[in-house]
Structure 1
Amino acid sequence: MAEQAEIDAVQVRRPVRQLVAASIGNAVEWYDWYAYSFLAVYFSTQVFPASTDDPLVPLLNAFAVFAVGFFMRPLGGLLLGSLADRIGRRGALTATILLMGGGSLLMAILPTYDQVGVLAPILLVIARLVQGLSVGGEFAASTTFLVESAPTGRRGLFSSFQYVSTTIGQLVASGLTALLAVTVAKPDMASWGWRIPFVVGAVIALVGVWIRRSADETHPAQADLAAGKRPPLFTALRRYPRQSVLIAAVTVAGTVTYYTWTTYFATYAQVNYGFSVADATLASTIALAFFAVLQPLGGILSDRWGRKPFLIVFAAGFALLLIPLLAVIGSFLSLLLVQCAGMVLLTGYTAIAAAVNAELFPGHVRASGIGFPYSLTVAVFGGTAPFLATWLTQLGRPELFPYYVVVLAVFGLVVYLRLPETAHRPLT
């Protein structure tokens, strides 16, 4: 009886350990990713030469570098996803978090333009390229690792922690930046205070490496890896083109609505409805916390009812309700309720996206099969959504952007209706 009790305890601890190993690294990745955008207003004048004509030029340069990181993500998805298939998930997860920690450390010690001249922005670009490479690889490796670590009938639940940890990273970055903004004098914040969150990110990355080292390998063909039988770089794209296209098609509507609702919505409320920065940010923060709580519930229900119903509700909900929801925004309460309603619909995609992606590919090319098409789609559609919304506002046609989201939601609905149900199939 004592032996059986110990076996049962191990069987409980292992999935939890795997879940923590995947989640802490993903949270660190996204903490560092978002910390850059929150702190750009402070470090931009330190890294770029000031323009005598327009004081916004350094900030615009900083955000241009931020965009560069998005277009490194497909390369990271391809290279580090292939690494996860060639040497195992755990090794790739260690590589991604080390890359992100290294990029964060470089940001923390970045010299200013006054100290080293043009070398300062060059080093900033290098740090951002490393972080973009890392984020692209992290999704591929951690998605695969999470789903392969899940007990029978729990793949949806485990996959939901992809966005739980992402949201936690975003909230911590936002919270720490806000705390520093109110406790550190503005001149000090611009001089050295902005470096503190990057130091914190580098330290947490080391903790993540230590935790991930204790995780179990989940690659289904470990014997093949030991024997040196490793798939070439482009195997997934060459042998599984239909699945690669399907990953992109599944992702389009999800990534646009995700970045619109979780990242840009506060700005949208300020520009189009006249909300103050404080009110718009507070509503977004509360809605993000609500969103994180919803994810495991969505994953659990998808394990019982399947993936397709949730994807269909997500796409149909945004296609039918987005315009009416935006029309009722007036007060702070209505803004918050609309954001939370959107988070409920968005959960139909985010809670199960990792499981859907992983269930489409066989194990020996699962990480690389997911990594490149997913990251490329996010870069093209998700990364450009805030820019497109801002551009349409500058043209005096802000009302067109919601219709753009609706069109992509309709496209997603067509894809999801034809998608095979994979929830109850065994992983190949």
Structure 2
Amino acid sequence: MSNIPGMIGVPADGDAPLDTHASKPVHLDRKTRAKAAVAGSVGNLIEWYDFYAYAYTALYFASAFFPAGDRTAQLINVAAIYAAGFLIRPLGGWFFGRYADRHGRRAAMIASVILMGAGSLLVGILPTYATIGAAAPALLLVARLMQGFSTGGQYGAAATYLSEIAEPGKRGFYASFQFVTLIGGQLFALLTVFTLQALMTEAEIREWGWRIPFVLGAVLAGGFLLFRDLMHETAEPAGKGEDAGSLKALFKHPRAMFVVMALSAAGAVTLYTFTTYMQKYLVNTAGMTVTDASRTMLVVTFLFLILQPILGRLSDKIGRRTNLLIFSGGMTLFAVPLLGAIGRADTMLSAGMLVFASLAIMSFYTSVSGLFKAELFPASVRALGVGLGHAIASAIFGGTAEWAALTLKQAGHEGAFAWYVSAVCAVAFIVAFRMREPRAHGHLN
């Protein structure tokens, strides 16, 4: 790969050479690769189901952990704990990324799923504020920190694993299944809530039914151990070498870290705006019922999932950079009008079409999210670079998105949030415009 000083996302003066400390590749046949990718994807789905179950049941359990009061105020408290789960993600990204680069992607993925399940179980069995007072939200925070720590590690390990297990020339398609299963986790969480709504009264869900999705998540996390033998390491673990998985080695790639963080910031703020926060936005701003909002998001989330492999495969032809330019440019131009129109939507159909339009633009990023980041780093720091860079940006911009939106709404400046989303995406567009195509110039080649 040629060095062009000053170009974002490729080695230049001050960056590390192409992969002097790379792990030795492990050669697998096509069938084994496919089975391993499926197993890794199942773990990713369970991880994100557990993570999103919190967001989609918040409307029901907010009153269980905080004193009685204004509904928006209770949601702000729940969103603050949700944000705390993001704030610890960089620590999880560092810990599990370092572990994955030294001891293998497989081991890191399994450990993170089990930790997520433990956090989910804790939420499911927690006593309420009426029972133990202030200890209830404190323990809810502990559980959410466990989940956030786990998620910070899962993203980098899964992105690296799926990118490395893929056949050359089909990496966009293979790696898109990270977000297929991430969205699948969201969809499963939504479907679980929808099932509760169909089988139980709202009062029953608020009283105890909201616990079911968390207990289910813990059971699924334990069941994931049945799939672990299908997963094969994509590279021989590098061990505890001086540079393997170290921050010292990672800091030799400052441009790659900057690209990951800038684009992850835009991806995180838009993803959480148009998925987890959108259910609350449809209820609090568009005036929909909780049930109608859940049904709308169930349909558009499924369509969002279908787009991932299509646009991932497209990136194998047009390049990751083109995908990223379409995403960041589209969101810069349309975030404000789309959010405004969704807030004024008066039917489920119109709201659903507008949310899907937003997610269609978003899909140009999510379909290549893990892959282009993995392509920017050598194998010895790949999981660490992807996981830590993504986690920092997600903590700052993703974890606070819902809290910022609700706080601005309460202050009477709800429209300002849309402009904030647009501004973050404008910065990402500049970064994507200046970067070179990672498919052609990245370390995976």
TM-score by length of 1: 0.88
Specify whether residues 191 and 247 from structure 1 end up closer, same or farther in structure 2 by C-alpha distance, changes over 3 A only: same
Report the Cα distance in structure 2 between the residues aligned to 1:44 and 1:244, rounded to whole angstroms: 37
Report the Cα distance in structure 1 between the residues aligned to 2:419 and 2:182, rounded to whole angstroms: 27
Please, which runs of 5 or more residues in structure 1 have no aligned partner? 1-9
Whichever residue aligns with residue 370 of structure 1, its letter is V
Give me the CA root mean square deviation: 2.6
Q: Is the 8 A contact 1:236 1:368 kept in 2?
A: no
CA-CA distance at 1:412 after TM superposition: 1.4
CA-CA distance at 1:69 after TM superposition: 0.8
2:155 paired with 1:139: yes
Specify whether residues 32 and 152 from structure 1 end up closer, same or farther in structure 2 by C-alpha distance, changes over 3 A only: same
SS at 1:423 equivalent:
helix
Q: CA deviation digits over 1:337-385, x for unaligned, max 9?
A: 2222222211111101111100000001001111112111111112222
Specify whether residues 343 and 200 from structure 1 end up closer, same or farther in structure 2 by C-alpha distance, changes over 3 A only: same
Q: Which residue of 1 aligns with 2:57?
A: 39
2:390 paired with 1:363: no
Q: Is the 8 A contact 2:72 2:406 kept in 1?
A: no
SS at 2:251 equivalent:
helix
2:418 paired with 1:372: no
CA-CA distance at 1:186 after TM superposition: 4.8
Q: Which residue of 1 aligns with 2:311?
A: 298
Q: Which residue of 2 aligns with 1:246?
A: 259
CA-CA distance at 1:289 after TM superposition: 0.8
Specify whether residues 202 and 84 from structure 1 end up closer, same or farther in structure 2 by C-alpha distance, changes over 3 A only: same
2:77 paired with 1:64: no
Whichever residue aligns with residue 411 of structure 1, its letter is V
Q: CA deviation digits over 1:87-141, x for unaligned, max 9?
A: 1111101110110111122223334456655554443222211111001100011
Please, which runs of 5 or more residues in structure 2 have no aligned partner? 1-27
Q: Which residue of 1 aligns with 2:299?
A: 286
Q: Which residue of 1 aligns with 2:23?
A: none
Instruction: From 277, 280, 288, give the equivalent of 1:264.
Output: 277
Report the Cα distance in structure 1 between the residues aligned to 2:78 and 2:43, rounded to whole angstroms: 25
Whichever residue aligns with residue 177 of structure 1, its letter is V
Q: What is the total number of aligned residue pairs between the two structures?
A: 414
TM-score by length of 2: 0.85
Note the 1:5-404 alignment, pairs <5 A.
Answer: 11-48=29-66, 50-51=67-68, 60-113=76-129, 119-186=135-202, 188-219=204-235, 221-222=236-237, 224-225=238-239, 231=244, 233-326=246-339, 330-332=345-347, 333-404=349-420
SS at 2:423 equivalent:
helix
Q: CA deviation digits over 1:237-275, x for unaligned, max 9?
A: 432222212211121222211111222234334444444
Greater Cα shift, 174-183 or 92-101 = 174-183
Report the Cα distance in structure 2 between the residues aligned to 1:231 and 1:271, rounded to whole angstroms: 48
Q: CA deviation digits over 1:290-320, x for unaligned, max 9?
A: 1100000001010112111111111222223
Q: CA deviation digits over 1:159-178, x for unaligned, max 9?
A: 21111111111111122123
Q: CA deviation digits over 1:203-247, x for unaligned, max 9?
A: 11122222133311013x54x43x866625423443222221221
Q: Higher helix fraction: Structure 1 or Structure 2?
A: 1
Identity %: 40
Report the Cα distance in structure 2 between the residues aligned to 1:398 and 1:115, rounded to whole angstroms: 35
Whichever residue aligns with residue 358 of structure 2, its letter is G
Larger RCO (alpha carbons 8 Å, 6+ apart): 2
2:440 paired with 1:427: no
Q: Is the 8 A contact 1:93 1:212 kept in 2?
A: no
Q: Is the 8 A contact 1:21 1:211 kept in 2?
A: yes
Q: Is the 8 A contact 1:85 1:364 kept in 2?
A: yes
Report the Cα distance in structure 2 between the residues aligned to 1:67 and 1:314, rounded to whole angstroms: 24
